[in-house]
Homo-oligomer: A and B are copies of this chain.
Amino acid sequence: MNRPVRIVSVPAGADSTEVRVGPGLLSGAGELLARHVRPGPVLVVTDGNVAPHHLPPALRSLEAAGFEGRAVTLPPGEETKNLDTVRELYAALLREGIDRGSAVVGLGGGVVTDLSGFAAATWLRGIAWLALPTTVLAQVDASVGGKTGVDLREGKNLVGAFHAPVGVIADTETLETLPARQVRNGFAEIVKAAFALDAGLLPALEAAPGRLLSLPGDEIPDLVERAVRAKARVVAGDEREAGPRRVLNFGHTAGHALEAATGYGPVLHGEAVAVGMVAAARISAARGLLAPEAVDRLRAVLRGLGLPVSLGDLPARPDRDRFRRALLRDKKRRGGRLALVLLEAPGRAVIAEDADPDELVEVTYGGGDIS
C-alpha cells in the first residue's frame, strides 16, 4: 500500500487517538486494531446502507490481522440511535463473547460511530473501540474528540459518555458511495471548522466548490485532514467540553433547535447547522464583532457547496414556536444560560456566555433589521 497516509494525533486522557486519513485505508483497519487489542472476536457495528459496500473489506482486514469479525447491521438513520438499539448491541456483545480485552468496531456514519462508541464505553465498564467513519460528517467531526451518544425521544445525545476510540480510520474512498445530499451535509462541518477554527481551510472551499462535491481524490484527503487537525487542537486540554472546545458549537445552537423543530429527520444535521452558522454570523455582525463582508463570505461558501443559508432553503419549514421552545430547553439544560458561539473573523470564534434566545429566533426567522 503506497498511498499517502495522513496521521493526526488527538489527545484522549493520558493517551491519544491516532486518526488516519486517506484513500483506501480501510484495508489497514485490522492492523491498526491489532496494535491495541489481542486477536479474538470483535463486534463490527454497521448499518444497512454501509454494509453492502464496506463491510466485506472491513471484515477481510480484521480477519487478516487475526480477529474474528462478527457483524451487527442496524437499520440506517437517526431513529436507530436509541436505547433499544444499545440493548441489542449489549445482547450481541454477550452472544459473541466480547470481553474486556476485546473491542467494538463502528463502521458507518455518525449514528453508527456514536452508538458503537457508547456500547463500548459501557460494556464491562468500558472496552476498546475503533472508528471507521464512512461519511464526511463522521470523518471530520463525529469520530474525533471522544464523544459518544444516544438519543432519547426528548432530545439528541441526552445519554452518552466521553470514550475515545483507540484509533480512527477515515478512508476517503468510502465517501464515494455516499448520496450527494449526505456529501453536502458533511461539508457543513468543514465550513464550520473553516469559520470557527481555521480560515486556512477557506481557499480550498472557495476555489471550486462544485468540484469538491465530486470528491476529487487529490483534494478531499487534505481537506479532511486539515479539518481534523483544527478540531484536534481545540479538543486538546478540554476533552470534557468545559471551555475552549465549546467553539465547536458554532452554528449548532440554532442548528440543533432547527432539527428539533422539524422532528429530526427531514432536515439533516449539516443543513440545520448551515442555517445556524449564518444566524450566528449575522448576530456577530449586528454586535459589531464581525465585518458584514464575512457574513456574505460565509453565505457564498455555503451556497457554493449547495447548502442552505436561510429557512427558505430548508427542505422542511421549522415551526417558530417549536424552535423557540427547543432553544429554551437547551438554555435550561445548560444551567439557565445560553452560550452562543460568535465570530470575530473567519477562523476566530468567541463565546457569548449569556445569549438571548429571542434574538436568535428573531435573526433566524427574519427580523429584517439585522444584516
Please report A residues at the B interface, Cβ cutoff 8 Å. Answer: 13, 38, 40, 83, 87, 90, 94, 97, 99-102, 118, 121-126, 147-149, 152, 154-155, 157-162, 240-241, 332-335
CB-nearest residue of chain B relative to A242?
Answer: B100
Name the residue in A13, A122, A149, A335 with the highest tally of chain B Cβ atoms < 10 Å from its Cβ: A122
Question: Could you say which residues of chain B place their CB within 8 Å of the CB of A147?
Answer: 125
Chain A binding surface SS class: mixed
Question: Could you say which residues of chain B place their CB within 8 Å of the CB of A102?
Answer: 335
CB-nearest residue of chain B relative to A146?
Answer: B125
A97/B332 in contact, CB under 8 A: yes
Question: Could you say which residues of chain B place their CB within 8 Å of the CB of A241?
Answer: 125
Q: A87-B83, A152-B94 are in contact. Are A158 and B335 (CB under 8 A)?
A: no
B334/A90 in contact, CB under 8 A: no
Question: Could you say which residues of chain B place their CB within 8 Å of the CB of A152?
Answer: 90, 94
Name the residue in A121, A149, A155, A157 with the highest tally of chain B Cβ atoms < 10 Å from its Cβ: A121
Q: A152-B90, A152-B94 are in contact. Are A101 and B161 (CB under 8 A)?
A: no
Output the least CB separation between A242 and chain B (Å): 9
Q: A94-B154, A152-B90, A152-B94 are in contact. Are A161 and B333 (CB under 8 A)?
A: no
Output the least CB separation between A122 and chain B (Å): 5
Question: Could you say which residues of chain B place their CB within 8 Å of the CB of A121?
Answer: 161
A100–B124 CA distance with the chains assembled, in angstroms: 25
- Shortest beta-carbon contacts, A-B, top 3: A101-B335, A125-B160, A99-B333
A161/B161 in contact, CB under 8 A: yes
